[in-house]
Structures are given as C-alpha cells and as structure tokens.
Amino acid sequence: MSDERTPVVPASTGTVGDRIVRAGVRVALGTSLLVSPRPVTLLLRKVFAAGGARTAAGLEKHAPAASSVVSLIDQSYGSDRDMVLDVFRPASASAPLPTVMWVHGGGFLGGSKDELSSYLRLLASHGYTVVAPRYSLAPEHHYPTPTRQVMQALEYIQGNAERLQVDPDRVVIGGDSAGAQIAAQVGALETTPGYADAVGVAPTITSVQLRGLVLACGQYAVQLPSDVSTPAGRKYFHTVLWAYSGKRNYLDDPAFATLSVADHVTSEFPPALLTVGNVDPLRPHSELLVEKLRTQGAQPETLFYPNDYEPPLNHEYQFDLDTDAGQLFLERMLAFLQLHLQPFCRPSATSQ
C-alpha cells in the first residue's frame, strides 16, 4: 500500500486553513509523540472537523424538506454532557417505526453526529425512526467508553420508545469508520459468549431486537500489517490508538485487545452489510471481518469495489451522494433495511 493510500491525516481538499492545519499535524507528529498523543489529537480533531463540514455541505442538498421530517435534537440519554442524541422521523408517522441507530465516525477522537444530519434525515424519510448518538471522544475518554455509551443510548430509546416513535423490537445499528467499529462491537457483545465480560460492557439489546448491522469503512482490529506499512500509517494509527487506549504501549494491553471485533465473532453475529472504498486504507479491516464471519458460517452482504475502480473511492466514500458509488450504497442499505426490519411474530407461550 502506497503512502498516497495511507494519509497521515484524513484527506483534505486544500483550503489555506486546511493546509496550515495539516502542516501543523506533520510537525507535531514528529516532535510530540514521544511524550503524549494529546497535541496531535487536537490537531487531528480540527482536520476531522474541516472534513466533516465539507461532508455536511455536500449532503445538505440531498436532504428532504425540513417540514417532512420531525427532528428532536440533543435528547439526553445519560448524565455526561456528551450523552445526547438526535431523533429523526417522518412527519407523517403516527406510530412507532422500525429504527436505525447510526454511530458517527472520526477516529474515536473527532467527528460529530451533527455532520450527518442531512443524511440521517434522508434515511428517515424512507419510513424509519433514525437515532444518532453523540459519544465521548479520546484522549479525554478511553476505550470502551463510546461502546458503553451507545449501549446506554439503546437502553434509553427502548425506555422512551412511545415518545420517540421507536419500535424497540426492530432495530438496525449502523456506523461509519470508528462508528462502524462501535456498531460491530455492539453486535458481537450481544452474540459472542464471554465477550461482554471481557470488554466490560453489558448488552442492553437482545439478538431478537437487533435485526442487523450496517458497517461502512470500519476498523475491526487493533492493528493489521497494512496499518503500519508506511511511515504515515504508523504515525497516524499510533496516535489514534494511544489516545483511545490511554496507553502508549497499547499492543501489550489485553483489555484494549478486545477492540478487535474480528477476533470475537460467531455464526450468531447479526446480519451485516459491509462496504469500503477500493483505496480506503481501512479496506483490509473490512476484508478481514468478512473472512472471519464467513469462516464462522455467517453470510454478510458486501459492497466492495475492484482495485482498479475509477474514480478511486477513499475513506467514507459513501457519504458523497453526487457519485454513482455513493448512490449505490444508499440503495443497497435501503434494501438491507427493508429486508431485515420487517415485522415478525413472537412465539406464544403455548406454541413453545
């Protein structure tokens, strides 16, 4: 994998401000990582924010009319100030709807639910209640805090299902990048014996309620050889994982090793749709998770692209709805949701 495919920071289109921030990141990477990941983390957060603003601007024109979707913003699901979520549902809805919870990305140290609001409103317009939680970020908070908070968000929407118009028996969890790791981990915590105890996060949703996972461009192992095949890759992943684990020698931490969802899947893993761009540095992670699932007997759906696909699809390609690839993923996701969020009949006591 070339340096061009493993940028030291997320790709930026090159405004003057972006270039200054990226230059600062490069300098900081070379001087501060012997002491702490914090200075670099804060610079990376700014780069993620700049990219998120561009994503939000690109998605805005695809959002449905504001009057067609009800938006409940910053609903508190816990005591921490970061523990708020947004809820989107069709204005015409008069009863609980099948529900999609989407967990945003940002390398565990950046990103925001707010950047994706247009995309999530679009998804809601197809007949779903869509829930978007915020979670606490590194380096101020460490693994597995975000996963625990998402579990709390799931508990909250079940306890407030009528008010939020959530159908707690029909839930799909999706996520992008870091959010995909969190979503996948929720699925594994529910279906892999002993994994919840190892991570220290108790499930708040059952396998009957959790109908599926949508996993876009995620990281499903602490480290793969491709992550460290270039100097840029080594520095970037080292910064992120040090910040998220809270330990410089995170590879020696057995507790942090449980982040590797790919090592903790079974045939009972929820139905999953995975996608990743053909030049995304995290592509090997998606390929690994699919391989592990299929080895266990699960049959995940995939939307992968050949190596020579043009134009090249980088990290988070799916949010560019001005491209054929972005539209194709949206189409595949809607088909997946329609298939897995259909009503079902619980077996009665007399039929057991």
DSSP element (H, E) containing 210: strand 210-216
CATH of the domain at 83: 3.40.50.1820
**What pLDDT is attached to residue 345?**
46
- Cα–Cα distance list, 210 to 75, 144, 154, 183, 310 (Å): 22, 20, 10, 11, 35
Q: Are 55 and 31 in contact (CB under 8 A)?
A: no
Model confidence over 163-216: pLDDT tens digits?
A: 999 999 999 999 999 999 999 999 999 999 999 999 999 999 999 999 999 999
pLDDT over threshold 60, residue 126:
yes
pLDDT at 348: 41
- Does residue 3 lie within any of the structural domains? no
**Residue 348 falls inside a structural domain:** no
Domain carrying residue 184: 68-227+251-343
Residue 172 lies in a domain: yes
The reported pTM is 0.90
Mean pLDDT (the chain) is: 91
Which percentage of the chain shows pLDDT scores above 90? 83
**Does 31 fall in a domain?**
no
Dump the DSSP string for 148-206: HHHHHHHHHHHHTHHHHTEEEEEEEEEEETHHHHHHHHHHHHHHSTTHHHHHT----S-
> Rounded CA gap, 309 and 247, in Å?
38
Domain contains 144: yes
CA–CA gap between residue 130 and residue 63 (Å, rounded)? 14
Domains identified in the chain, total number: 1
**CB-count burial class (<10 Å; 0-12, 13-18, 19+) for 62:** middle
In a domain, 298, yes or no: yes
Q: Is the pLDDT of residue 349 over 50?
A: no
> Is 38 contained in some domain?
no
Question: Is 132 part of a structural domain of the chain?
Answer: yes
CA separation, residue 287 to residues 80, 148, 208, 225, 284 (Å): 35, 26, 27, 13, 5
